[in-house]
Structure formats: structure tokens, C-alpha cells
Structure 1
Amino acid sequence: MQARLISFLKLFLPFSIILFFIQFALVNYVFKIELYYSTLAIYAFHFLATFLIFLFLVFVHKTFSDKTGFAFMACSLLKMLAAVLFLLPVMLNDTPNPFQDIVAFFIPYFLFLIFETIYAVKLINTK
């Protein structure tokens, strides 16, 4: 388990940091957009959710290896629910342009989801 965690973090940390700085530069310096949530808060959500999902998938794969795919689908559903709850204040508040906030959240959401999916498939294919 420790070897999987280290190999995951070797790619996940640089992936997260690079994406964070790209979005931070685009939001604050290129487009100069004021968002409801800071870029740091958005990436903290994505980083924490993805890391916890990976840890849970490794645990499920270790104990019930045939249920890893189902666990990934359940975690993805819960992450989507958490994303809606995270964005609920943006949608309920009188923010001037909530579309920008939603796009700033969901572009990294799908990039992190692709990253999760790649590692979930790697876990499922290991025998």
C-alpha cells in the first residue's frame, strides 16, 4: 500500500501544483476575475477529495479487490454531491456572474476526475 501511495503522490503533487499555478495566473493576472471562492479553496477541495478517494480505493482493492470498480463509481457519485454542496453558496448568492465561478471549479474537477480514473483503472487491472 505504501508503494502505491508514493507512486501516486509522485505524480499527483506535481499535477496539482502545476494546475493550481496555471489557474491562479489565469484568474488573477490574465483575465483578472474575482471569484466567490479563491483558487486555493477550489484546489484544496479537489486535492483532498481525490486523495481521499485514492486512499479508499486502495483500501477496497486490498480487502475486496473485485469491488474496486463499484467503490470508484460510489466515490465519484459522492464527490459530485460534494461538488454541488461546495458550489451551492455560489448558486444561491447574488454573485454577479456565477458562470465564471462554476467554470473555474469544473475545469479542474474534470482534470482531477481523469487523474482518478487513470489510477482506478490501474488498480483494477493489477492482479
Structure 2
Amino acid sequence: MSKKIALFSVRLIVLMSVIFYIHTNLLSYNGYLAYDNMIIEGYYVNVILAIIIVSFLTFLKKKYNDQLGFLFMAGSMLKFAVFFVFFLPHFRADGEISRLEFLSFFVPYVFCLLLETLGVVRVLNPSKKEP
């Protein structure tokens, strides 16, 4: 079980590193500051929470198999809570939330959510063989 979590974690970190690289290069290419708007924190928090959520669901699979979907949604609510508590006050400091500020959290959120979903599907579908 911990091997699956480790494999998921490595895949997530590698893929999110590539997405981070593309995201920051697109910002730079378009004349924006690549590491502004808490982008590093946005990626870091989303990756860490994705690993925690998938690990949590993996360990609870046997005991709470019927409730895993609800627990997965609770994990997404946790991510939004982190956004509202830690990111939103910083973004609202100037009175508005710019598109770049929004995207610095939302891009890693969406990609982590996609990769989390695939990870949880593997947890729920044990017949699928790992490569």
C-alpha cells in the first residue's frame, strides 16, 4: 500500500514540476513576473494536499470503502478552505483579485485534482495493474 502512495507521489511531483515549468515560462514569455502572486506556494500546497488526500483515502479504503467518494470531496473542500484562509487575504490586499493571482492557485488546483482523481481511481479499482 505504501508503495502505491510513493509511486503516486513521485508521479504527481514530476508531472506538477513539468506543469509548473510550463506555467512560469508562459508567464515570463508574456512579460509577467514568473514567480509572483504566490505561485510557488500555490503549487506546493496543492501537491502536498493531493499527496495527503490520496494517502488518507488509500489507508481508509478497507474500513470506509462506501464513503470514499464523500471523503474525496471533503479533501477538495479542505483545499478550498486553505485557499480562503491563506491565499485569498493576500490576493485581496489590494482590493481586487487579478486573473494572474487566481490562476496561480487555480492551475495547480485543477491539475492536482485531475491527478488525484486518477490516483483514487487506482485505489478503488485494484484490478488495474501498475506499470
- TM (norm. structure 2) is 0.81
1:2 maps to what in 2?
2
1:36 maps to what in 2?
37
* Offset, 1:12: 1.2
Bigger drift between 43-52 and 81-90 goes to 81-90
Q: Is the 8 A contact 1:87 1:102 kept in 2?
A: no
- Structure showing the higher helix proportion among its residues: 1
2:84 maps to what in 1?
84
| Gap regions ≥5 residues in structure 2 | none
Distance, in Å, in 1 between the alignment partners of 2:124 and 2:21 is 32
Q: Indicate the structure whose relative CO is greater, using CA pairs within 8 Å and at least 6 residues apart.
A: 2
Bigger drift between 86-95 and 112-121 goes to 86-95
Q: Deviations over 1:11-70 (max 9, x none)?
A: 21211111111112222x212324331x32221111111111111111111432222222
Distance, in Å, in 2 between the alignment partners of 1:66 and 1:124 is 10
Distance, in Å, in 2 between the alignment partners of 1:69 and 1:63 is 13
Where do 4+ consecutive residues of structure 1 move more than 3 Å? Answer: none
Aligned residue pairs: how many? 125
- TM (norm. structure 1) is 0.83
2:125 maps to what in 1?
125
| Gap regions ≥5 residues in structure 1 | none
Q: Is the 8 A contact 2:58 2:123 kept in 1?
A: yes
Distance, in Å, in 2 between the alignment partners of 1:75 and 1:104 is 20
Distance, in Å, in 2 between the alignment partners of 1:19 and 1:3 is 24
1:15-94 equivalent positions in 2, closer than 5 A = 15-27=15-27, 29-34=28-33, 35-37=36-38, 39-94=39-94
